[in-house]
Amino acid sequence: MRHGNKVNHLGRTASHRKALLSNLASSLILNKRLTTTVAKAKELRRFVEPILTRAKTDTQHSRRMAFSYLQDKESVKALFGEVASKIADRPGGYTRIIKLGQTRLGDSAEMALIELVDFNDLYTKEGTTKKAKTRRSRRGGKKSEAAAAAQEASAETAEAAAEESEETAEEQPAKKPAKKTAAKKTAAKKGKKKEE
């Protein structure tokens, strides 16, 4: 009976599954993202997240533990080098699984993209500054000074823009009356022909 055993066997023996997850984890650490099936991606996330947490503390013991899972010197070096420095301030959730909405051609397995969160340039906001964490009151009484100053500045710029548009309207001469449209011209020509 398999009561309480939540591991997805992935249709493999224990040793084959361990080797598969080890290779997938090494590829994820070296390449920062990979495409695989949804089931393998979910199991890989369970496998690699504790390794990434252990990589935050760069000790000899944590390096040996990471090597016991990954079995690859290059991926351990990359893990404790560039990956650990990027994930240092993240309290977990180092990976992201994105379902691709495609199926594999041979067996119609649902495919997914698994990636390290901090290495995706589209979703991370390194260029923008973080907003200051403010606590909102329930009453919503006084406005903060910064918000009031920003509101005044936007009001001043709106007034200046309105004044400029009025000045340019005064400087431009009045427009000539619109020309007759094609329909009016043909009607006028028909009227002349009838008179003749």
The model's pLDDT over 19-40, given as tens digits with 9 standing for 90+, comes to 999 999 999 999 999 999 999 9
CATH of the domain at 89: 3.90.1030.10
Q: Which residues contact 8 (CB under 8 A, 6 or more apart)?
A: 39, 42, 43
* Residue at 142 is within a domain: no
Segments in the chain below pLDDT 50: none
pLDDT value of residue 64 = 97
* Residue at 159 is within a domain: no
* Residue at 105 is within a domain: yes
* Residue at 39 is within a domain: yes
Q: Contact, 33 vs 83, CB < 8 A? A: no
* Residue at 29 is within a domain: yes
* Residue at 158 is within a domain: no
Element (H or E) spanning 97, and its range?
Answer: strand 95-103
Rg (CA), the chain: 33
* Residue at 30 is within a domain: yes
Ordered strands of the 33-37 beta sheet: 33-37, 110-116, 95-103
Domain extent, residue 110, equals: 14-119
Taking the C-alpha atoms of residue 108 and residue 11, their distance in angstroms, rounded to an integer, is 16
Taking the C-alpha atoms of residue 120 and residue 127, their distance in angstroms, rounded to an integer, is 13
* Residue at 177 is within a domain: no
pLDDT value of residue 5 = 87
pLDDT value of residue 186 = 64
- Counting the structural domains of the chain, the total is 1
Tell me the whole-structure pTM to 2 decimals. 0.62
Write the DSSP symbol of residue 80: I
Q: Contact, 114 vs 96, CB < 8 A? A: yes
Q: Contact, 86 vs 119, CB < 8 A? A: yes
